[in-house]
Amino acid sequence: MADEDKKQLASLRQRIQARLVESRVKSKRRERKSKDEIVVQVSTNTQQLEDDFEESLEGDRNIKLASTLVMIGAIMGVISGVLILQGNPSGLLNSSLFKSNDSLDLHGMVLDENGDPIINVTIELIDPNTNLKVKDTTTDSNGRYTIENVAVKEYELNVSKEGFESVILKFKPEPIGISPITLLEGEGQRIKDELSETEGWSMENAVALATVEGLFTIGCALVGVHASFEIKRKKRYRRTQALCWVGLFSRGLIIFGPALILFSMVLIMFSKEDFEDQKLLEDL
């Protein structure tokens, strides 16, 4: 009987030890599994942080590149505006925009129907307000004439020669001179009104138009410079794009400046979510 009790006790101890071993193995397996899950989770979080960091760096690179390109395009626009303003400095200085008592030397040519020069044609400069002759001259062997030091205002030029019909030219002196006058054989009088033909396109108007165009170009370029700083600030997306759009009209070196600004606008569009107003919209 005592031997049987000992056997039962020994069997019980073996079962208990087996369960303890099994419990320890399961516990170690759970610990390993838990550690693996933590490692995987930490690895996943680290990878996500790395991806977010890379995305942030790429966005910053796009913003910096866009800002630089817009600045270069705007500087090209300023250069273009200056070139427009300086495109005809002699005309600009000689125009009545800068001189109140301007005077010019008149020069022109008289031709026949075949385009050959006519010599000894009488040229009389008449003041239409008083109908008095101001100056006169005749054409040379090449059919050319010159009247020096003529105040810039409206005149009539009487062109006449025996055997030809006379011509009365209404004009206003310009640096480019007077267009060739053709005399027809015969009698009579012909009136040619250059004032109505060239109205609105005088040298002064041309200079004024170039000046306005140059100033407009420089103004748009300065808006482009401001857009470059707005890109770096990353405050308002639509405002920044609108400023870049205005900068396009600076036409820096015809096409190169606008091409750079347009490419920058595409980069900004890809980095749209980096602007503060867009982040607020996403949060809402």
Asked if residue 165 and residue 118 are part of one domain, the reply reads yes
Does residue 283 carry a pLDDT above 70?
no
Q: In this structure, is residue 109 part of a structural domain?
A: yes
> How many angstroms separate the CA atoms of 223 and 207, rounded?
24
- CATH number of the CATH domain containing 104: 2.60.40.10
Please name the amino acid found at residue 101: N
Residue in 277, 279, 271 with CA at minimum distance from that of residue 235 = 277
Q: In this structure, is residue 18 part of a structural domain?
A: no
What residue numbers bound the domain in which 77 lies?
62-86+205-279
Residue found by looking up tokens 């100056």 in the block:
135
Asked if residue 225 and residue 188 are part of one domain, the reply reads no
Asked if residue 216 and residue 81 are part of one domain, the reply reads yes
Domain boundary at 180, 199, 218, which?
199
Does residue 202 carry a pLDDT above 70?
no
Asked if residue 232 and residue 187 are part of one domain, the reply reads no
Instruction: At 257, list the tokens.
Output: 């400046």
Model confidence pLDDT, tens digit, residues 63-116: 889 999 999 999 999 998 888 887 654 444 444 444 444 788 888 999 999 999
> How many angstroms separate the CA atoms of 113 and 117, rounded?
10
